[in-house]
């Protein structure tokens, strides 16, 4: 699998300011992206005045979450206790998984890190733009925090981004505790959190058995669908690993297509087959997706809400796998459409936001 350069991600490109070293370097190498990126940067940012969902009281809530996350980035790495504690892989793996869940993780898995998990270069911040990523950690602990269903089902309104930003904070805190704990035991550990990832959490989570990558291109879990946020701690501490799982998501997505049909920017593929002629068909057009975000003022969330796995449906819970079973998939889709129509939508804000 080919590694991705973080400089090419929409989140990185949106930060390149005219006149900066990053801006000049990136668009010298990628002149075809300059026009659309300049247009995107001219628009109000998420949660800012001028976006469709802006509210001077409520939009400041997710903004506060992202500011907090920015303020703690420097804590992702730290000093390692020179006195190494020796422990069995089985015991420390159990301890770490339990600790992650104690601090709020709903799902936890562990995998050996592979080359394709990592970005090739950093790109989100001017101070380390273009740095090659070289991480010699052997293992990754990946964890998912559930996002509240009713808040996500209010997307693309402001409640949705309040919930997503809250769960970025949740995963950051879990990661901080785990990385501090492991360093206290005498082993190196790094917390990979919002805007400070050296790797791609969804790929790590897939290999660690948390779920599969679906049509909407993000991790989908059997328990919560796409309604999760992910955090990762990488480490040189020896751990027991988990195996990838399958519950027939590819077969399900092949028939479902809900996320593609409800995407307000038509950024997701509605191709039936995930692969054809050695090409991945299920991709996201990150430019059109992000332009819609900047218009809305939130990170939308409609593809998450429209996934049947995100809605805790009983017809999904009772099935171990949908692989090769079109009848079961059809029953779930029929139940979903009878209950939600095209997609779930909870109008208005919760009481505390009114």
Q: What tens digit of pLDDT does each residue of 283-309 get?
A: 999 999 999 999 999 999 999 999 999
Percent of the chain residues topping a pLDDT of 70: 100
Q: Are 250 and 324 in contact (CB under 8 A)?
A: no
What is the dihedral sign for C-alpha 211, 197, 194, 157? negative
Question: The domain 57-235: what is its CATH number?
Answer: 3.40.109
Domain with CATH 3.40.109 in the chain: 57-235
Report the residue count for the chain.
Answer: 354
pTM: 0.97
**CA proximity to 178, closest of 142, 229, 134, 227:** 142
Q: What is the pLDDT of residues 231-285, one digit of tens each?
A: 999 999 999 999 999 999 999 999 999 999 999 999 999 999 999 988 999 999 9
Confidence of residue 158 (pLDDT cuts 50, 70, 90): very high
319 φψ region: left (φ > 0), alpha (ψ -120 to 50), beta (else): beta
Per-residue pLDDT for 30 more than 90?
yes
**Residue 245 preceded by cis peptide, ω within 30:** no
d(CA 331, CA 308): 11
Tracing tokens 């904070």 back to the chain, one arrives at 169
- pLDDT at residue 44 is higher than 90: yes
- Placement of tokens 């400089």 in the chain: 7
Q: Which pLDDT band, with edges at 50, 70 and 90, does 63 fall under?
A: very high
Q: Mapping DSSP to helix (H, G, I), strand (E, B) and coil, where does residue 176 land? A: helix
Residue corresponding to tokens 């964890």: 143
Can you tell me which residue has the tokens 């390692």? 80
Confidence band, pLDDT 50/70/90 cuts, at residue 126? very high
Chain centroid to CA 3: how far? 17
pLDDT higher than threshold 90 for residue 1: no
The CA distance from 78 to 111, in Å, is 22
pLDDT, the chain, mean: 97
Paired with 32 in beta bridges are none
Please give the pLDDT value at position 278: 87
């Amino acid at each position: 699998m080919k590694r991705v350069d973080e400089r090419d991600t929409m989140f990185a490109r949106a930060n390149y300011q005219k006149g900066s070293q990053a801006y000049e370097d990136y668009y010298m190498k990628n002149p075809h992206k300059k026009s659309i990126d300049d247009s995107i940067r001219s628009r109000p940012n998420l949660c800012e005045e001028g976006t469709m969902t802006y509210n001077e009281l409520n939009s400041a809530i997710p903004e506060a979450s992202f500011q907090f996350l920015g303020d703690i980035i420097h804590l992702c790495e730290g000093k390692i206790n020179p006195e190494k504690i020796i422990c069995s892989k089985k015991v420390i793996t159990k301890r770490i998984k339990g600790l992650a869940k104690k601090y709020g993780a709903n799902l936890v898995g562990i995998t050996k890190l592979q080359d394709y998990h990592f970005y090739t270069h950093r790109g989100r911040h001017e101070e380390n733009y273009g740095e090659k990523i070289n991480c010699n950690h052997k293992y990754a602990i990946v964890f998912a925090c559930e996002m509240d269903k009713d808040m996500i089902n209010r997307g693309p309104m402001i409640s949705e981004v309040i919930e997503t930003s809250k769960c970025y904070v949740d995963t950051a805190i879990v990661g901080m505790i785990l990385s501090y704990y492991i360093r206290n035991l005498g082993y190196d550990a790094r917390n990979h959190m919002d805007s400070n990832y050296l790797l791609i959490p969804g790929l790590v989570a897939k290999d660690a058995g948390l779920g599969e990558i679906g049509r909407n291109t993000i991790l989908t879990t059997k328990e919560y669908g796409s309604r999760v946020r992910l955090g990762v701690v990488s480490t040189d501490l020896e751990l027991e690993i988990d195996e990838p799982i399958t519950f027939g998501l590819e077969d399900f997505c092949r028939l479902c297509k809900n996320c593609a049909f409800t995407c307000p920017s038509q950024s997701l593929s509605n191709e039936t087959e995930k692969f054809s002629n050695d090409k991945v068909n299920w991709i996201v057009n990150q430019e059109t997706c992000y332009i819609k975000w900047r218009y809305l003022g939130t990170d939308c969330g409609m593809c998450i809400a429209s996934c049947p796995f995100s809605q805790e449906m009983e017809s999904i819970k009772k099935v171990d796998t949908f692989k090769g079973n079109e009848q079961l998939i059809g029953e779930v889709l029929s139940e979903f459409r009878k209950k939600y129509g095209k997609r779930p939508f909870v109008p208005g804000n919760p009481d505390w936001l009114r």
